[in-house]
Structure 1
Amino acid sequence: MKTTIQEIKLIELPRVEDPRGNLSVIEGDTIPFDIKRVYYLYDIPGGAERGGHAHKNLKQFLIAVSGSFDVILHDGNDEVVFNLNTARSGLLIVPGIWRELKNFSSGAVCLVIASDVFKEADYIRDFDAFLESKK
């Protein structure tokens, strides 16, 4: 897995502005993969952390649909932190990147769009094993 954090990107979502409220759409080539799974994290207790793993093949797109949270990403050498705090954009995470989600605001909701269904074999849940996989 030779991916690096330079391959991570924030993608601005198409937005239809309306005085009654805005609308954003994810369709076609909005994100660079076919959607196979959608889930969301919510009711996250204060101080809780999510993630703490990497994927071998899965791509993910994270959106803060409400509130805010930090996404800490590590590629085996470098680390970067993204604060997601708007529903107007999302964070594309490629395979081979360790991710941790922290500092959830009260009422935060993290929408996750994934390139495949859940497969336990795709997860690397031990950071040392992740580092070894990057060699």
Structure 2
Amino acid sequence: MNSIELKVNHSGIVTLAKIQDDRDGNLIIANALKEIPFEIKRVYYINQLENSVSIRGKHAHKKCEQVIFCISGSFLLGLDDGKVQQKVLMNKDNIGIYLGPMLWHTMEDFSAGCVLLVFASDYYDESDYIRNYEDFIRLTK
């Protein structure tokens, strides 16, 4: 059971099946169009986050949907729908957050050895990004 309560729009909790074997580790399964609520077109991960004061993300997408997981370590996920802001501690390898379109997000406060995994609904397209926070707020009105 997870204890995350999301307060922002355009977000959701995604729980992946986790099969634990004390001797042989964990198997965690993600299926497109099942647990991941879209067809997956891109998968990427972020690691080597040695600078714990780094802030990544700092953008929203116009159309792209994503689900973000912390598969090792922990970090703080900042969410902002233009009205409500929230920070979520990401530290469970099978619990992710759905990042819908028009949701500003940041990642910070990375632990040593932190690894983020992201499933995206579309290929990289710079024109889909909103990188200026004032523009984001204006577009959410």
TM-score grouping bracket, smaller chain normalisation: over 0.9
TM-score, length of structure 2 as denominator length: 0.89
* 1:21 match: 25
Alignment length (residue pairs): 132
Q: Secondary structure of 1:131's partner?
A: helix
In the TM superposition, residue 7 of structure 1 has moved relative to its aligned partner by 3.6
1:87 to 90, 93, 99: 93
* 1:99 match: 105
CA contact (8 A) 2:10 2:81 kept: no
Aligned mates of 1:27, 1:100 — CA distance in 2 = 25
For structure 1, which segment, 40-49 or 115-124, has the greater mean C-alpha deviation from structure 2 after superposition? 40-49
One-letter code of the match for 1:61? Answer: V
Long gaps (5+) in structure 2: 1-6
In the TM superposition, residue 6 of structure 1 has moved relative to its aligned partner by 3.3
2:42 to 37, 41, 53: 37
TM-score, length of structure 1 as denominator length: 0.93
* 1:69 match: 75
* 1:121 match: 127
Aligned mates of 1:37, 1:105 — CA distance in 2 = 25
Task: Give per-residue Cα distances to partners, 1:1-44, cap 9 Å, x unaligned.
Answer: xxx82341222111122221110111141111000000111111
Aligned mates of 1:105, 1:63 — CA distance in 2 = 14
Aligned mates of 1:15, 1:106 — CA distance in 2 = 23
Aligned mates of 2:15, 2:96 — CA distance in 1 = 7
CA contact (8 A) 2:54 2:108 kept: yes
Aligned mates of 1:21, 1:42 — CA distance in 2 = 21
One-letter code of the match for 1:50? Answer: R
Aligned mates of 1:120, 1:6 — CA distance in 2 = 23
In the TM superposition, residue 50 of structure 1 has moved relative to its aligned partner by 0.3
